[in-house]
A and B are shown apart, each in its own frame.
Chain A
Amino acid sequence: MSEILTVQNISHIYSAGTPFERAAVKNISLSVQEGEFVGLIGHTGSGKSTLVQHFNGLLKPTSGTVLVDGQDIHASKEATRRARFQVGLVFQYPEYQLFEETVYKDIAFGPRNMGLDEGEIDRRVRTAAQQVGLPEDALEVSPFDLSGGQKRRAALAGVFAMEPRLLVLDEPMAGLDPVGREEILQCIERFRRVSGAAVLFVTHSMEDAARVSDRLIVLNQGEILMQGSPAEVFSNSQALTAAGLDIPTVTRLFIELRRRGLPLSPAVYTVPQALAEILRLKNGGEGEVC
């Protein structure tokens, strides 16, 4: 597998040279493999929103380099522009960016900026709409007439239609109820399955991150606190709590049970895992595991 995104020692300093100077990102290196699903976790102010805006060249690092597909994205204007289309970035509350007369035109905005021909634009808009579960007839209505959840999905489709090789989403489920959250996660999964793109999604919900990610990166005060598989990261739940993050309730439950001397695994973060682990112990280490 090759690396689609490589970030080497980047730092970002806001208002450099003034009394308000503040480093939002400090010497961060990370990479995302082709087709990988990465969760980037951190509380508000941990620098995660600033960090992701470096991936498609919206922000230029004060120092360090960002490579997309092995190319330095700040090497030339063309390289930056290419990176913008290869790395699709969905901002927080993306429904607030909708502006066109129809949903179709709004989804077509990105592909049109890429200079694609009408036939290709049409194909992409319809594919993207399908991926986010918008019915065909919704394409011709004004985006402002959609329901809250549909608006969010239409905005996602606008980035999906650019067919990025890395999809970066900043808190894509913020403000939604459990049903809405699930829908968004499914949209992302569907896009990933069909396009084979890598996904990096930023969240402060450990539960969501753990459920879908192959790998987690935990950010704290502009630096990488830890990274690894969800099991590895959750085994170190003390550090997570210290970084102001909420660990899943089942993880807390298992910490409590371990404290009480029960030989359970520390790396439990979903209910099915917890169930399997309890049944394992109950049945003397063997027996049925879901």
Chain B
Amino acid sequence: MEKAIVSAENVTYTYPAEEGKQNHAALHDVTISVKQGEFVAVLGHNGSGKSTFAKHLNAILLPSGGAVYIDGMDTREEGLLLAIREKCGMVFQNPDNQIVATVVEEDVAFAPENMGVAPEEIRRRVDACLETVGMGEYKRHAPHLLSGGQKQRIAIAGVLAMEPSILVMDEPTAMLDPAGRREVMQTVARLNREKGITVILITHHMDEAAMAGRIIVMHEGEVALEGTPREVFARVEEIRRLSLLPPQTVDLLWHLRAQGFDLPLEALSVEECADVLEAFLKK
């Protein structure tokens, strides 16, 4: 069996109590493990605890109970902080607020500069990472003049320059338009496929989650559903109850089933669904 590169064991997290507010558990007994090279989507509506979970993966937050191990390193150990963050890169929602420098290549160089990497090696990494995200020709550009999708790809390159094994993305497409979302998702899928980078994608978009190998649905700080996209989406009633929308393909098949027709629910893509419906209608 492959070993888990990310392992959260019975993690509980309670936000520090604010004056006049009841403190509530944002995470409750969450156990998740991710293997090297996996692409896992963590789904959930706002307040489901998915972002809180993401922040545990590189020690922005520390568990109140339980433990998180990144490649065997306990995130509570202060001495391991830099090593954990180098291993586990994090991309955030707002691309504007994670770009530090006024020139694209300087920004991508930021992390390796902090690591004390030699200039020639930084140069190699910057060029390689910008190529990987398809932004090579923009290296001398000013980031604030780029589109949202381009900025987010720069942010990804900036994290890749640390050469992490895990990429955690906290709703990286929430602020992007459809074209930007496509750019970012294609980049992420390619990184996972070609470079073998473990991807943990936090999202509320079903179609993005469908690209993952495994989906974990969170609800009220707990893991509510887990499985391959097919398995998870086929549970239409549960998905609805968790305040999420099933993909339209599955939704349509589910409605037809509700009308008494015996159709499989595991047809996720347009082609698969068309196959099912074609067979159904030509019968």
Contact = CB atoms under 8 A, between A and B. Distances in A.
Say if the two chains contact directly (CB < 8 Å).
yes
Interface of A: 43-45, 147-149, 174-180, 204-205, 244-246, 248-250, 252-253, 256-257, 260, 262, 271-272, 274-275, 278-279, 281-282
A32 B272 CA distance: 41
A253 B248 contact: yes
A257 B278 contact: yes
B274 A43 contact: no
Contacts of A177: 45-46, 204, 243
A42 B255 CA distance: 31
B221 interface: no
B278 A260 contact: yes
A44 B177 contact: yes
Contacts, number: 88
Contacts of B177: 43-44, 204
A265 to B, nearest CB: 13
Contact of A174 (B175, B244, B256, B270): B175
Interface in B229-265: 243-245, 247-249, 251-252, 255-256, 259
Interface residues of B, number: 33
A246 B178 contact: yes
B270 A245 contact: no
Given A260-B274, A275-B256, A44 B147 contact: yes
Contacts of B280: 278, 282
B244 A178 contact: yes
21 contacts: A44-B177, A44-B180, A45-B147, A148-B46, A174-B175, A175-B174, A177-B45, A179-B45, A179-B243, A180-B46, A246-B178, A249-B249, A256-B271, A262-B282, A271-B252, A274-B252, A275-B259, A278-B280, A278-B281, A281-B281, A282-B281
Most A Cβ at <10 Å: residue of B180, B259, B271: B259
B32 interface: no
Contacts of A43: 177-179
Nearest to B43: A177
B91 interface: no
Contacts of A253: 248-249, 252, 270, 273-274, 277
Contacts of B243: 177-179
Given A177-B204, A178-B244, A256-B271, A149 B46 contact: yes
B46 A250 contact: no
B143 interface: no
Given A43-B178, A44-B147, A179-B243, A256 B256 contact: no
A279 B270 CA distance: 19
Contacts of B89: none
